[in-house]
Amino acid sequence: MPAYTPPLRDMQFVLHEVLKVSDEFKALPKHADIDADTINAVLEEGGKFAAEVTFPLNISGDTEGCVLDKSTHEVKTPTGFKAAYEKFVEGGWAALSCDPEYGGQGLPFVVNQCFYEMMNSANQAWTMYPGLSHGAYEALHAHGTDEQKRLYLPKLTSGEWTGTMCLTEPHCGTDLGLLRTKAEPQADGTYKITGNKIFISAGEHDMASNIVHLVLARLPDAPAGSKGISLFVVPKFKVNADGSVGERNPIYCGGLEHKMGIHGNATAQIVIDGAVGTMVGQPNKGLAAMFVMMNAARLGVGNQSLGLTEVAYQNALAYAKDRIQMRSLTGTKAKDKPADPIIVHPDVRKMLLTARAYAEGGRAMACFCAVLLDKELNHPDEKVRKDSAELVALLTPIVKAFITDNAWTATTACQQVFGGHGYIKEWGMEQYVRDARINMIYEGTNTIQSLDLLGRKILGNNGASLKKFGKLVAQLVEAEGVNEKMAEFINPLAYLGDQMTKFTTEIGFKGFQNPDEVGAAAVDYLRVAGHLVFAYFFARMASVALKEIAAGNTDPFYQAKLQTARFYFAKLFPETASLMRTARAGSKVLMDTEAVFA
């Protein structure tokens, strides 16, 4: 059976020693009184909830799955899921970072980020039920009418109700301009929504008394394409003026998707048969409102894969220390045993260190983005808010795609550490691999994220956003460039930082002549950008560790951090050279291939 220990020490290191979040919060009136002790106490209790309440349901939930009663359209979640959700709501966890005006605790997003990492390690399928509610909450908080906020936000904040995002339809995935769901205006100002949606995570379940669906649909006179999409809030049960639950709305589950992973989450086919809804935001401006939820979800998906990377690593490490097989190439290590533990073998260590480095780099980047969100929404200086928003927009596709790609590599490597046992369900590793695979697909495939990064976020503003991050890199290089002990971390970071401008300009120029060049280079480009970000944070983490060691701190945590950083720069970071070469290879060998596909 797998085990899980919340990585509180590394979270504290990232939050307090690297990012110095308490200092950041002092500039935010809303969070000025949030100190390290408060954050640590919340995360310690959150870790207990994850490890003790939801983690024990992970394998059983995967085995049992969700069951649809086709006669009532009701879905029963796996045994224990509903009871765990009741504890989640009772503990106030749903309200952690929500607005106090609607019953929230008002804690910084970065605290919620760390809590949800632990929840995703413990049980991704379960965590998706409350996780999606945060996106619905954010969209309504940003774009809802006063009446919508009054009716829905308190219940979403408390967790009494959950939320979904209903985008995809059977004939269209990411290309939402093709959607056909209709919204007919009614005399009372409401709309009757009719259509079909698929792949709706947490679309139907028995864990909450109501489900608040955010649905994309078209008005009768809507323009064609993505410019004619509006957003509507369509509850499972209609909501009375006093906030109580009314009669059943004709929006229901017509079937459950039989997926490769996340079996404990009800991925529903949603039938909408004249359901009553109200518009969120302006007519034909639904995508702008929905993107609040979609961007939150993309950061959340990266967080899911971060959680899976961490828990897979922990279990592979424990197994490698215990499993004996063969002798070390440099001589016997466990003289009292008939063979050595497999952790003595170089390639086993490579697999373990790969997972560890991807977890620690991902944690630093995800926490940094969460702090940027806190500053974007709460900093009194408009320029700081704007700069933070621009940086988080740049980093969002990297968080989603780079961390999820890395998690697929990491969980597969950790499964490999187990050998044949990695394929046996009871050990838990094959579930982490299956669960990790979906994160590369949904909320926009990783190719879509790559096109968003290169085409929109970088070339779309002539590299201005990239230059903002480049300034952070340059500041670190300038501060640490004369430190010989930092050379092994700073030199490769500085080199890639210099190369990035030339690389981007070259791809952009080729793309101007032929847009397929951007499509051909985008996936490789995103991974290069991801490594630039990871290298920046590993250099920062190494700097902190070196200073602590120089000051006489004997905590082995800092030596371990340095060793992980050295591994990252020696074994993972060099991928950037081959990626830039393949990106520069162009689109011709991809597009001039009619004979291949004839």
CATH class (in words) of the domain with range 1-444: mainly alpha
Q: How far apart are CA 498 and CA 474, in angstroms?
A: 9
Query: Choosing from 443, 480, 517, 548, which is the catalytic residue?
Result: 443
Euclidean distance between CA atoms 446 and 443, whole angstroms = 9
pLDDT the model gives residue 504: 97
In contact, 266 and 200? CB cutoff 8 Å: no
Distance separating alpha carbons of residues 87 and 52, to the nearest angstrom: 11
- pTM value surpassing 0.95: yes
- 228 exposed, middle or buried (CB, 10 Å; 0-12, 13-18, 19+)? middle
Which tokens in the block code for residue 203? 């679309």
Query: At 303, which helix (H) or strand (E)?
Result: helix 286-322
What is the per-residue pLDDT for 11? 98
Cα–Cα distance for residue pair 190/257, rounded to 1 Å: 31
Distance CA 132, CA 369 (A): 19
CB 236 within 8 A of CB 211: yes
**Cα separation, 453 vs 379, whole angstroms:** 26
* Cα distance between residue 12 and residue 263, in whole Å: 32
The strand pair at 74-76 and 67-69 is best described as: antiparallel
How far, in Å, CA of 522 to CA of 38, rounded?
42
Which residue is listed with tokens 């046992």? 421
Cβ burial 183-219 (10 Å sphere, 16+ → b, else e):
beeeeeebbbbbbbbbbbbbbbbebbebbbbbbbbbb
Q: Which parts of the chain register pLDDT below 70? A: none
Kind of pairing, strands 251-256 and 267-280? antiparallel
- C-alpha span between 532 and 547 (Å, rounded): 23
Q: Are strands 230-235 and 237-239 parallel, antiparallel or unpaired?
A: unpaired
List alpha helices for 91-176, DSSP H.
109-143, 146-158
443 tagged catalytic: yes
What is the predicted pLDDT for the residue at 291?
75
Name the token pair of 571.
Answer: 């074994």
Q: How far apart are CA 523 and CA 448, in angstroms?
A: 9
Sign of CA pseudo-dihedral 548, 554, 557, 561:
positive
List, in sequence order, every residue forming a beta bridge with 213; answer none if it has no partner: 164, 234
Residue 289: predicted pLDDT: 79
Residue 231: how many other CB atoms lie within 10 Å: 32
Tell me, what's the pLDDT at 297? 82
Q: Which pLDDT belongs to residue 220?
A: 96
CB 573 within 8 A of CB 361: no
Q: According to the model, what pLDDT value does residue 579 have?
A: 98
Model pLDDT, residue 287: 84
30 vs 385: CA distance, rounded Å? 14
In what helix (H) or strand (E) does residue 377 lie, and over which residues does it extend? helix 346-378
**298 φ/ψ sector (left φ>0, alpha ψ -120 to 50, else beta):** alpha
